[in-house]
């Protein structure tokens, strides 16, 4: 009887991978873009699938998740605290970049609580907020050191949003892989990277994300919970470097999985790029909900 159950589980895993592979390849077939995907069950890690999972892809604002973790690690060490007011110069609130923070503090030269900087940076993907946080902890090398210290591979950060805005090629120096981002999300969710308080705070902030309404969340029913971070590049000469979304999905029954989808080198429209992510999200959700508890 035990052998029968074992072989049935193995068969279901193989079928899971085949079916999800079939659907993802159908979704991406014919698209003038490269799509990298890594999806893995947190409860049953043997259930996973990847497409171009080891490909180096530009992170764009997905790296704000990594930046926030590096800052919160300093909070855990007592270097900062969430209610601490951080001096922000007017020159740090740059014009011409996505920044709801700039809209709230148009003149600058303000003292902004760290918790507010983190919330704007993660939940609203504020570009100025990201650069202020990088400055606060001592530069992009500090983010890199935190990630490396956690034995997370295939991640590189060379600079913040202002650095990426300097020229088109700089964005490609902030890269990771779908496999790495998914594994990082799982380790974060399992509490391996931050204290329980910091994990809970950042998770709740990721759940409150307001960007990417046509991406991962568009492929999920309302009863699912998504904690995620998006990233987007500009388009140059008809080429979009990055349309990204990566997150954690909690099913209505409490089971969970991590999923990262990166659409890169795309000659498709924004609507098509986002629909690829939404359709892959829907396919992954359908397969995970079809799997029974072990």
Q: Where are the alpha helices (DSSP H) in the chain?
A: 2-28, 63-76, 100-104, 114-123, 127-137, 140-149, 161-166, 178-189, 196-207, 270-290
Contacts of 170 (CB under 8 A, 6+ apart): 158, 159, 163, 164
pLDDT band at 14 (very low <50, low <70, confident <90, very high): very low
Does position 10 have pLDDT exceeding 50, yes or no? no
263-286 residue pLDDT tens: 999 999 999 999 999 999 999 999
Please give the CATH architecture assigned to the domain spanning 29-290: 3-Layer(aba) Sandwich (3.40)
Confirm if 65 and 206 have CB atoms less than 8 A apart.
yes
Domain regions of the chain by residue span: 29-290
226-235 residue pLDDT tens: 999 999 999 9
Percent of the residues in the chain that have a pLDDT greater than 70, as a whole number: 93
From the list 41, 92, 99, 161, the catalytic residue is 161
> What is the model's pLDDT at position 4?
43
From edge to edge, which strands make up the β-sheet containing 175-176?
57-58, 175-176, 155-156
CA–CA separation, 138 and 80 (whole Å): 13
161 is catalytic: yes
> What is the model's pLDDT at position 262?
98
102-144 residue pLDDT tens: 999 999 899 999 999 999 999 999 999 999 999 999 999 999 9
> What is the model's pLDDT at position 81?
97
From the list 41, 61, 198, 256, the catalytic residue is 61
> What is the model's pLDDT at position 290?
84
């Amino acid at each position: 009887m035990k052998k029968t159950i074992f072989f049935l589980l193995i068969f279901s895993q193989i079928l899971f991978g085949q079916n999800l592979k079939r659907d993802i390849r159908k979704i991406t077939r014919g698209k003038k873009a490269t799509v990298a995907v890594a999806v893995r069950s947190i409860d049953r890690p043997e259930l996973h699938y990847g497409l171009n999972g080891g490909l180096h892809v530009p992170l764009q604002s997905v790296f704000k998740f990594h930046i926030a973790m590096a800052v919160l690690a300093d909070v855990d060490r007592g270097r900062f605290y969430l209610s601490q007011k951080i001096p922000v110069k007017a020159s740090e609130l740059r014009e011409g970049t996505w920044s709801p923070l700039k809209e709230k503090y148009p003149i600058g030269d303000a003292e902004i609580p760290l918790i507010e900087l983190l919330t704007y940076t993660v939940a609203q993907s504020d570009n100025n907020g990201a650069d202020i946080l990088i400055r606060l902890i001592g530069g992009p090398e500090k983010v890199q050191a935190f990630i490396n210290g956690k034995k997370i591979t295939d991640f590189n950060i060379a600079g913040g949003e202002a650095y990426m805005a300097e020229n088109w090629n700089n964005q490609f120096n902030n890269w990771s892989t779908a496999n790495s981002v998914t594994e990082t999300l799982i380790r974060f969710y399992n509490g391996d990277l931050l204290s329980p308080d910091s994990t809970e705070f950042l998770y709740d902030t990721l759940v409150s994300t307001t960007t990417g309404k046509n991406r991962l969340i568009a492929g999920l029913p309302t009863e699912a919970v998504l904690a995620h971070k998006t990233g987007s590049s500009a388009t140059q000469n008809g080429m979009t470097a990055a349309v990204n979304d990566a997150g954690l999905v909690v099913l209505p029954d409490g089971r969970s999985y991590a999923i990262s989808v990166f659409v890169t080198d795309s000659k498709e429209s924004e609507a098509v790029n986002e629909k690829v992510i939404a359709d892959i999200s829907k396919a992954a959700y359908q397969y995970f909900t079809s799997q029974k508890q072990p």
